[in-house]
Amino acid sequence: MRAGKYIFYGIAATVLLSSGCNNDPVPPDKGSIIVLMYHKITQGDATNLYERSVTDFESDLIYLIYNNINIISFDDLKDVSESGTMPDGHSAIITFDDGDRSGYDLVLPLLKKYRMKATFFLWTEKINQNTYFKSSEIATMSNYMLPGGPRPFIFGSHSFTHQYLQARKATFSTVAEYNSFLDYELGESKRVIELLTPYEVNCFSLPFGDGAGDSEIISAVQRNGYSFIRTSIHESIKSPAIDFFKIPSVPILDNTQIDEIAYYLNH
């Protein structure tokens, strides 16, 4: 771990000074929600911007615990929206793009160690190839259950062939051809993942972040049975009025300073 990369903040105690008999507790502050976007986790030092060393990744998880940042899932966003109020304190959703096998070899043991949940967006065409997830690993992780029944490891789609979805529109002669392309990328990837998992796939991550907020892509996502689109818009969620088809995220890269999480949560 590089010197000075991590700054751990102590949890400040708030002392209520009161006079007389007023001992009512102070209500907790409402928090923000941040979606963290990882790619490949490496055993040694990262070799490119989109990698993060396993040492740094474990420090990220410790940071979340140390700062009382609750780890939630995309399905939990529905509860936030329906309640009309943000959760008490800050929350985070941990995600991984592409489906690199480091998710099984390096990430899974740490998630189990710290009892955290995460969502893995698969470049479905790559399953069983080179350094990507094997079918058996997806099945093992998706069937893993915590005491009481919840499944902490969710698999979503990152499309079938990982293309620029919005940019590709210009290459098709008709709207019908473009929609057929979208339906294949979204539908085939969903079908493949659902053959390996015990649950319906309802989360989609835009390849390259291309097409955030695009009405045709959103329509394709909806007709193919997805409930969420995770984008690459660099923001946190600060209101319960959540657009489930335009969920922002913050990339955690090789050069990311851990206090950037606090920045996005508090600004």
Q: Which of 263, 266, 261, 230 has the alpha carbon at shortest distance from 62?
A: 261
Percent with pLDDT over 90 in the chain:
86
* Averaged pLDDT for residues 188-200: 98
What pLDDT, on a 0 to 100 scale, did the predictor assign at position 16? Answer: 25
Other C-beta atoms closer than 10 Å to the C-beta of 188 total 17
The CATH number of domain 30-266 is 3.20.20.370: yes
Q: Residue 210 in contact with residue 192, Cβ under 8 Å?
A: no
Can you tell me the mean pLDDT for 120-127? 98
- pLDDT value for 147: 86
Bridge partners of 118? Answer: 153
Residue 149 is predicted with a pLDDT of 79
Output phi, psi for 214, to 5 deg: -70, 130
Mean pLDDT of 23-52: 85
Q: What is the pLDDT of residue 72?
A: 97
Q: Is 96 helix (H, G, I), strand (E, B) or coil?
A: strand
Q: How many CA atoms lie within 13 A of 36 on its CB side?
A: 27
Query: pLDDT tens digit string along 222-246?
Result: 999 999 999 999 999 999 999 999 9
The Cα angle at residue 168 between residues 164 and 171, in degrees rounded to 5: 160
- The amino acid at 220: A
9-18, 33-42, 83-92, 116-125: least confidently modelled range: 9-18
User: What's the CA gap between 61 and 63, in Å, rounded?
Assistant: 5
Q: pTM surpassing 0.85? A: yes
The 10s digit of each residue's pLDDT in 145-187 is 988 879 999 999 999 999 999 999 999 999 999 999 999 999 9
Specify the pLDDT at position 28: 52
Average pLDDT, the chain: 90
Flag whether pLDDT at 1 surpasses 60: no
